[in-house]
Chains A and B, each alone.
Chain A
């Protein structure tokens, strides 16, 4: 790496982990955290990196390595943290051996997620784990390095909780010195810590071990608070007046910018740790009559401050996202300015007043031109419409099939939910065919237990696995069915077909670019008993467009205006973005058409040839 680089927050965190001497890095792709692991894999092939099948597995692999006294890192987005919760709640009790840093990246505003969550609640309020909450890429890098040291200092996992605008912000980052420890892997048994079981613990006078470990976790909080008190990530900035601003993580940057743009100097408390530094917080609260807390997303610190005010009998008004600021979504400088305006602390300058922008047509994402999911979804739509079927959806590029114009899937929930939800619909007595649509990476992530359960419980469903060989949505990460790993080593390609056969479901394999063949397989599947799986295999077009690895023969198709009656099936049902409608006829935009020829197959009048 160069000394000074303009890089993303994710790259900065990767750099921090490398400088801290991380030896094992695990994770599952998820925006906005994906690049952290990818950058380490690319920059440092000597560090072990893996895309685990899911985040639960990732946290467990990392725990194993931590027990061998090496520095480990597990990386995931908030949905993944939910998946890993069971393991997290256990290592909170046991503590760790080699440093264990868990990155739980939140996506306030859900720019790239199916929901928005504040994992500080899960990890700190519920899990009692210490958290570092960075305000910028540069601070995220420093926090990453600090987290490794603090994890070993306290023998507990440390959480780094960057939000979208830290992960995906770009700034100039400088390389720093190595803080890697010089030691070899080693393993020592410590069963009273690393065997979590309901058993009497002699070291605790026969107390039940989980209870004893819970006591130790609670006692740890004082240690975390001491660390927070000395932490370089918390500070007070002096200012004038009796209204103070509290900026947590990214919230600090918006508060700071708002004050500078107003040329205003209010006292600021910048916070980057959980638990909070109690003395520093008290010192700040004693200076002011009122504070506004800026944090993403939930009123976590706000409620802690209210609690402190109550406990210490401080007459300080605490405003924040509970009742005062917008309770959902990202913060920005505008929100800070409007809050100050509302409290009459400052007046909004003319150029910063809200501007009513004109309404423009909505733009939603869809399948890429040439994507094999589009023809697959089209075949599924035709067959399920005919049989009055219901389609449950899953996470991945194919989820756009639930939006207009395709509007096929009736549900999108969490990873792997399509199959059990289909089973539930089928078991309800509804009497309609049910089809689950899932991608290959998601199948290995959490689809498999659902499929086993459906087969075991004799659910009458069809499962379509859109197998494009990669985790396309997050930027083409390899998975268990790819035959390659993130370290670019050839590895056994787990066969979806063999797995499905072993589960006891029927299997049909199709090329999704062959709509007629796909429809035939679907017809058979929805009318037979039991779990029927269709594996639709074709490589991701976006990734393979410049290679020979295509599953269709390119065809230069044209619209015959004599035959086109403007029925728009190709646009309103199939929905290829290269098709345009003008003067009651369809035309093909040659600049974007990739000649997959699928529109010719969906035209009922033979007008596209």
Chain B
């Protein structure tokens, strides 16, 4: 068994908590885990990519090779496309449809691609995936900070390896008590976004 996961986003979106949750979950199953983050020139609004590798055999390198990721989790649409080469054509993606504009886009020097362009770029590589409104939901529930937990709920909805209750317990161990209840509700919402409906599914 092996599962290679790429989490692509922007500094401050909570990549790290998400990858630690997936690692702790896998460790509890007695599996090997190795991962790393690529932080584009520190944080401060730069791109952040986490590589998370899970296997029942020894894992050598912390970097997922091109074309070998089983799942691409995109916390931000263009960051997902920027890392699409990691995804295996037979893998799957799950993307948060909430753009974080770049400086050059804000300045009008570059244009942020349309939803169709982004979807087209993703589908050119991989036919199976989901696009969900995780950040919109998080905002509705009170804070953008819960985007990552909603994405993890959605992940549990699309990947049978991550058993829903068990992953929830692992996430709960990582969160401060004060925000726990709200985050677990967000996790449930994320799960519902993909598990019980085909509405967000994308197929080529």
Binding site for B on A (CB under 8 A): 4, 6, 31, 111-112, 136, 165, 168-172, 250, 252-254, 256-257, 260-261, 332-334, 337, 351-355, 357-358, 360-368, 397, 400, 403-405, 473-474, 568, 571-572, 575, 577, 579-581, 591-592
Q: Are A334 and B45 in contact (CB under 8 A)?
A: no
Q: Which residue of B lies closest to A355 (CB)?
A: B85
- How many angstroms between the C-alpha atoms of A572 and B89 in the bound complex? 40
Which residue numbers of B lie inside 8 Å of A, CB to CB? 10-11, 19-20, 23-24, 27, 32-47, 59-63, 65-68, 78-79, 81-82, 84-85, 88-90, 101-113, 121, 124-125, 139, 144
Chain B contact surface mostly = mixed
Among the interface residues A256, A366, A367, which one has the most CB atoms of the partner chain B within 10 A?
Answer: A366
Q: List 27 A-B contacts (CB under 8 A).
A: A4-B27, A111-B38, A112-B39, A112-B42, A169-B36, A172-B27, A253-B61, A254-B61, A260-B60, A332-B63, A351-B67, A357-B81, A357-B125, A360-B82, A361-B104, A364-B41, A364-B46, A366-B45, A366-B103, A405-B103, A405-B106, A405-B107, A572-B107, A577-B101, A579-B106, A580-B106, A581-B106
Q: A165-B63, A361-B113, A365-B40 are in contact. List 8 more A-B contacts (CB 8 A).
A: A170-B20, A171-B62, A354-B85, A355-B66, A360-B81, A360-B113, A473-B42, A581-B106
Complexed CA–CA distance, A474 and B41 (Å)? 11
- B66–A354 contact, CB under 8 A? yes
Complex-state Cα separation, A577 to B105, whole angstroms: 11
User: What is the distance, in angstroms, from B18's C-beta to the closest C-beta of chain A?
Assistant: 13
Contact indicator B11/A365 (Cβ below 8 Å): yes
Is A168 touching B81 in the complex (CB atoms < 8 A)? no
Chain A residues lying within 8 Å of B102, measured Cβ to Cβ, are: 361-364
Instruction: Kindly report which residue of chain B lies nearest to residue A258, judged by CB atoms.
Output: B65
Given contacts A165-B36, A333-B63, contact A361 B46 (CB under 8 A): no
Residues from chain A with Cβ under 8 Å of B11 in the complex: 365
> Inside 8 A of A361's CB, which chain B residues have their CB?
78, 102, 104-105, 110-113
Given contacts A111-B39, A355-B125, contact A364 B103 (CB under 8 A): yes
A-B residue pairs, 4 tightest by C-beta = A365-B46, A169-B62, A333-B65, A253-B61
B110 to chain A: which residues have CB within 8 Å? 361-362
A165-B44 in contact (CB<8A): no
Say yes or no: A111 contacts B85, CB within 8 Å: no
CB-defined contacts of B112 to chain A, threshold 8 Å? 361
Q: Given the complex, which residues of B lie within 8 Å of A568, measured CB to CB?
A: 107-108
Asked if residues B24 and A360 are in contact (CB atoms below 8 Å), the reply is no
Instruction: Tell me which residues across on chain B come within 8 A of A169, comparing CB atoms.
Output: 34-36, 62
Task: Tell whether, in the assembled complex, residue A170 and residue B23 are in contact, meaning their CB atoms are under 8 Å apart.
Answer: yes
| Minimum CB distance partner of A259 in chain B | B60
CA distance A6 to B26 in the complex (A): 10
How many Å from the CB of A502 to the closest CB on chain B? 33
A374: min CB distance to chain B, Å: 11
What is the chain A residue whose CB lies nearest that of B63?
A: A332
